[in-house]
Chain A
């Protein structure tokens, strides 16, 4: 018997496959396309206290084996998102609210409004406006503080989503764990840019997709070696082989992001592949492979 369930804080996932934020909408859009039986949890598109228009186009560029996006966190605001709850519940899968805010207060207000979600994920890749505009997740003390403050206002499973754009990743992870995070998800996109050859116009954006997989895998491993709370590993996962590498590196669950844009049926495909891999090796679940890589250098 293969047991694919995993526990992330209080959250019981039937499968270790989480749909990453921003690449599955509110789940609603994928009705009739994605087989939700293969999905452990849906992370909705990042939501803020008030509506956000997002960036003017272009918002998405294809890059070799990847995607560079500058959506700009477009969302209709938490109030409107909560109205979608009955629709969002239809797939019958736990829902994670991905939150972003510019102040600690707004993060707290948002978290308090998320009672009907199964878990909360703090997106720390956006800037903290009150204190010099530095990105929350770049600085251990900022990241720890916002996590601790949100912890005070919610009993929900609290996940902190880490940005890889810092040379203090492990310290940030530790700070969040100490401040009461139940789990960490990583990585968010890597900062990059694109230039138009005709007009010389340039845009900053976040890189995702297979191009970042080795970087993301390394980030997950480095954090795994430092913290005890479970990790949701993501970054460029396109198939079961990639997913298994993230488990071996230490992830308890994995996130599917950009691949959903290309193949919205990826969850079933990846899950079947994981089951096949485990069966062929007489393994019984993710716990048998989690973190079990052997360094050879």
Chain B
């Protein structure tokens, strides 16, 4: 998992997100479910740190990212053009063991790492966003054998309301759940009376366990998102 140089192959706007394909042959075969990478699309030092991004999909030589513009770093990434150089360290984080059948619950950009999980099993996927521009990847999920349930807060697509409401309403079977989305969403999902795992987010320095910047609080004490996670048993997480 050294620092590698890759090239952007495509970068397309999809609703509110960008779907970026990066040619970086060393990484895809190493990448497992639950893992992420640290990405830098600039050589200058003004933006000093790389940004953590989930592996949303992969082919034999490429990684795919789903990006939502938040600040300067993600904005620069969203503007990258095919052919441009990009630097990536990874795969990072703990690879998770998935059961054969499971449920995915993704809110907004939180769908990114769940798309990759769908490769390793089948089941049900609850996908939600503020509006239809925040819904991505439903065809991919269906192709991978997931029955998809959609929710938008403004009702522009699928159920009108939050994806968590829809999840608790429609819950088809009591299966292990893998969720990613904003903190309030994960907090509500802690109430699920079954196995529930969440992709957490915290500011990162290094992504590989050397800076101790990515601390999160769990019932078992301080853990580090980049080495102990990013996927945690949600029942163990202490949100404050």
Contact = CB atoms under 8 A, between A and B. Distances in A.
B203 A261 contact: no
A74 B227 CA distance: 15
B6 to A, nearest CB: 15
Interface string B175-212: 00000000000000000000000000011111011111
Interface stretch (B8-16, B43-51, B54-62, B107-115): B43-51
Contact of B48 (A25, A54, A209): A209
Nearest to A258: B48
Given A25-B210, A71-B211, A62 B222 contact: no
Given A66-B48, A261-B49, A264-B89, A57 B209 contact: no
B203 A24 contact: no
Contacts of A149: none
A69 B222 contact: no
Interface string A15-48: 0000000111100011011000000000001000
Contact of A265 (B3, B46, B213): B3
B216 interface: yes
Contact of A32 (B1, B45, B48, B204): B1
Contacts of B211: 22-23, 25, 60, 69, 71, 261
B40 interface: yes
A195 interface: no
Contacts of A53: 221-222
B210 A59 contact: no
B217 interface: yes
A25 B222 contact: no
A169 interface: no
A260 B49 contact: no
A119 interface: no
Interface residues of B, number: 30
B45 A210 contact: yes
Given A64-B46, A209-B48, A262-B50, A59 B208 contact: no
A59 B213 contact: yes
B48 A57 contact: no
B210 A23 contact: yes
Interface in A163-216: 209-210
B213 A65 contact: no
Contacts of B222: 53-54, 74
Contacts, number: 100
A24 B227 CA distance: 14
A265 B206 CA distance: 12
A25 B209 contact: yes
Contact of A74 (B206, B208, B212, B240): B212
A66 B39 CA distance: 17
Interface in A81-131: none
B2 interface: yes
B215 interface: yes
Interface in B2-34: 2-3
A258 B204 CA distance: 13
B46 to A, nearest CB: 6
Interface of B: 1-3, 40, 45-50, 89, 202-206, 208-217, 221-222, 227, 240
26 contacts: A23-B210, A30-B210, A33-B3, A33-B208, A45-B212, A53-B222, A55-B215, A57-B202, A59-B203, A60-B204, A60-B205, A60-B211, A60-B214, A61-B203, A62-B47, A65-B45, A65-B48, A69-B205, A209-B48, A260-B210, A261-B205, A262-B40, A262-B49, A262-B50, A263-B3, A264-B89
